[in-house]
Structure 1
Amino acid sequence: MRYSRLAVSKVGAVLAALGISLSAGLSGCFTERRNEGAQLYASHCANCHGEQGQGLKRLIPPVAASDYVAQHRQELPCLIRKGMQGAVVVNGVEYNQVMPSHNDLTDSQIANLLNFVQQNWGNKNQAYTIREASELLGQCNGSDGQ
């Protein structure tokens, strides 16, 4: 089968245009979520834990360079979803304030928020997958499957 150069050229132009619009659409989709963890931290956590994760003296524990963040990986998704009360020791200091629950966050948002904390301010911990976060949330009846 033979095609004219004009036909091949038109098909190439159409495919190129589709590729550009498809990649623009995909990049827009990913761009919205690219900084989601930082945005979620700023809107849900920074008021208490500080803009740089430094905590608040002996009242609110730090998440920056936090041994608790590194050592309690399995519990962190449920801690965000359900909140926490009672004493906790972070970097050798005891804290005893109520942390509110965040039932408004989806499983994937919790994973993104935790990944932001896991990779910033001196924390160099393994990232969560959404599936892992959902499975861990299932242990506290906190998974929404999203």
Structure 2
Amino acid sequence: MRPAGYFRWAAAGAFALTLGLSSCFTERQNEGAQLYAAHCASCHGDQGQGLERLIPGVAAADYVAQHRDELPCIVRKGLNGPLVVNGVEYNQVMPGHEDLTDSQITNLLNFLQTNWGNQNQPYTIREASDLLGRCNGSDGQ
């Protein structure tokens, strides 16, 4: 037989655990937006709008949908040379982000895939790591 206050303590403990897990997942869920703000927004714009004809936008960008298999390596290794986004040609150097883990690149790209008019399928961590392997860019994390 359990003491009278046991169930209250058990319920309070379960509630605290739920809050703890919830905030853990919430922070991880927002990681893509945080990574974009830290690593991409200074060039691509805080709303993905780009910079006129100098730097392509990622908001409602056909490139994001059409070059899905290349995007993880572009984030990791950067890009040098011409590309066309929504019918406009760009030719600037984009630095890579070797400091990001595979998981962070996945979360960053999933943020891009599902925001600002982009309605594309999110990546799985396995898919992003496999794609990063094509450019020797996977860190297995």
Question: How high is the TM-score relative to the length of structure 2?
Answer: 0.93
2:77 matched to which residue of 1? 82
2:93 maps to which of 86, 91, 98: 98
Q: Secondary structure at the match of 2:89?
A: strand
Q: Deviations over 1:55-74 (max 9, x none)?
A: 11111111111111010000
**1:20 matched to 2:29:** no
Larger radius of gyration: 1
The alignment-based identity, stated in percent, is 72
Q: Which residue of 1 aligns with 2:46?
A: 51
Structure 1 residue ranges without an equivalent (≥5): none
- Equivalent-residue separation in structure 1 for 2:60 and 2:119 (angstroms): 9
1:1-52 superposed Cα distances (whole Å, 9 cap, x missing partner): xx3xxx1644423421321221122122112212111111111111111111
Identify unmatched segments of 5+ residues in structure 2. none
Q: Give the corresponding residue for 1:138.
A: 133
Q: Secondary structure at the match of 1:99?
A: strand
Structure 1 vs Structure 2 CA RMSD: 1.3
- Mapped pair 1:61 → 2:56: yes
Quick check: 1:38 aligned with 2:28?
A: no
